[in-house]
């Protein structure tokens, strides 16, 4: 990754004094391959009255970050995470953990030194970031900073399971159970009292079984469509099977929850979503979409779950801040086991 010296425009005055310093950050100036990212020196952000300045200790990396870097599917460029004709968010990264460095004048929940974690829109691939105080929570006490940075992505699994209406005693099929979201989905579904059947590759079978799945299907040996089992909920994190195949494994009133699939260069999963809505229109089965929404309540739920020993992050690989490009390429390959994180340190100059 290239090294640059690039300062962002000075932010307006804020209640926090002496915050106009520089920091290291991975800068996203144009769409392309991860190698085009640069590690630079930029101005440290200043928190507003209701915000917190966090010294980032670790950040999570997932496939969404890869999509934003490449600008593909192109639809992402007109989303709040993209920008035309070039990226509007110069520092990427959405999940993080770290220590509170300073707080805005209206913040009463946190104080400097508190260990926190959460999910933001952007800015985590840097030594410091600002976040609305209402969007972060105290870090799980039994996790390291690196482990905690991987936890916020569990909100995708949690919200997907809720969209499916999963209840204790129901049977769920999780397609893509060994990835960053899938490993959380298995554990959360078990914690909610469901019977879990997980689909993954041969090398991940034992790992997924250790997470508590009641049955693990190696897709190279067993086809979940022809197995005869029927499920109340299917959480699809891959999108590699036809909608008719997915409907065939559901009970007559089962629910299909897509969380991936159809990721072409232009509109990504939009066509699959439209086809899904049409396919389920005249049946008692349900097609439930959802959009991951950062939530402090979800962070608190996950903190309690993790501290109770009912779920844990599965760290596949960790990288230094200077290795963000390598981390994104690893995640973009689509074969990561569990979560990928970035180790971040340093002080403002």
Ordered domains of the chain (ranges, CATH): 2-152+295-343 (3.90.180.10), 154-287 (3.40.50.720)
Strands of the chain (E only): list them. 2-5, 22-27, 38-43, 51-61, 95-103, 115-119, 128-132, 136-138, 171-175, 195-200, 215-218, 231-236, 250-258, 286-287, 315-320, 339-343
3-state secondary structure of 54: strand
pTM across the whole model: 0.89
Per-residue pLDDT of the chain (349 residues; tens, 9 = 90+): 554 444 433 333 334 444 558 999 999 999 999 999 999 999 999 999 999 999 999 999 988 899 899 888 777 787 777 778 888 888 999 999 999 999 999 999 999 999 999 999 899 999 999 999 999 999 999 999 999 999 999 999 999 999 999 999 999 999 999 999 999 999 999 999 999 999 999 999 999 999 999 999 999 999 999 878 899 999 999 988 999 999 999 999 999 999 875 455 544 566 677 877 888 888 899 999 988 898 999 999 999 999 999 999 999 999 999 999 999 999 988 778 899 999 997 544 4
**What CA–CA distance (Å, rounded) separates 166 from 170?**
7
Residues 6+ apart with CB under 8 A from 248: 225
**What CA–CA distance (Å, rounded) separates 145 from 98?**
7
Q: How far is CA 283 from CA 32, 254, 259, 286, 340, in A?
A: 42, 10, 21, 8, 39
- What residues are paired with 311 via a beta bridge? none
């Amino acid at each position: 990754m290239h090294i640059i010296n690039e300062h962002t425009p000075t932010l307006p005055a804020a209640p926090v004094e002496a915050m106009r310093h520089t920091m290291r950050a991975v800068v996203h100036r144009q769409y392309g391959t991860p190698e085009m990212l640069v590690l630079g020196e930029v101005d440290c952000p200043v928190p507003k009255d209701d915000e917190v300045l966090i010294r980032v200790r670790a950040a999570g990396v997932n496939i969404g970050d890869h999509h934003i870097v490449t600008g593909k599917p192109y639809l992402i460029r007109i989303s709040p995470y993209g920008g035309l004709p070039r990226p509007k968010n110069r520092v990427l990264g959405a999940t993080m953990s770290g220590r509170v460095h300073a707080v805005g004048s209206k913040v009463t929940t946190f104080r400097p030194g508190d260990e926190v974690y959460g999910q933001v829109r952007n800015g985590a691939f840097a030594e410091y970031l600002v976040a609305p105080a209402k969007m972060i929570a105290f870090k799980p006490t039994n996790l390291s900073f690196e482990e905690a940075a991987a936890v916020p992505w569990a909100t995708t699994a949690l919200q997907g399971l809720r969209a499916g209406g999963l209840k204790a005693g129901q049977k769920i099929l999780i397609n893509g159970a060994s990835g960053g979201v899938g490993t959380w989905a298995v554990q959360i579904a078990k914690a909610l009292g469901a019977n879990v059947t997980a689909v993954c590759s041969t090398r991940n079978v034992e790992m997924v079984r250790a997470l508590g799945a009641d049955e693990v299907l190696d897709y190279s040996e067993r086809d979940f469509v022809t197995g005869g089992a029927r499920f109340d909920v299917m959480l699809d994190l891959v999108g590699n099977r036809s909608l008719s195949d997915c409907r065939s494994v559901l009970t007559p009133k089962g629910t299909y929850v897509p969380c991936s699939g159809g990721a072409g260069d232009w509109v990504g999963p939009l066509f699959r979503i439209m086809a899904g809505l049409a396919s389920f229109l005249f049946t008692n089965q349900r097609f439930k979409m959802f959009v991951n929404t950062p939530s402090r309540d979800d962070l608190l739920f996950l903190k309690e779950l993790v501290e109770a020993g009912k779920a844990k992050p599965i760290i596949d690989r960790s990288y230094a801040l200077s290795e963000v490009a390598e981390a994104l390429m690893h995640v973009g390959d689509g074969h990561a086991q569990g979560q990928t994180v970035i180790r971040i340190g340093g002080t403002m100059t």
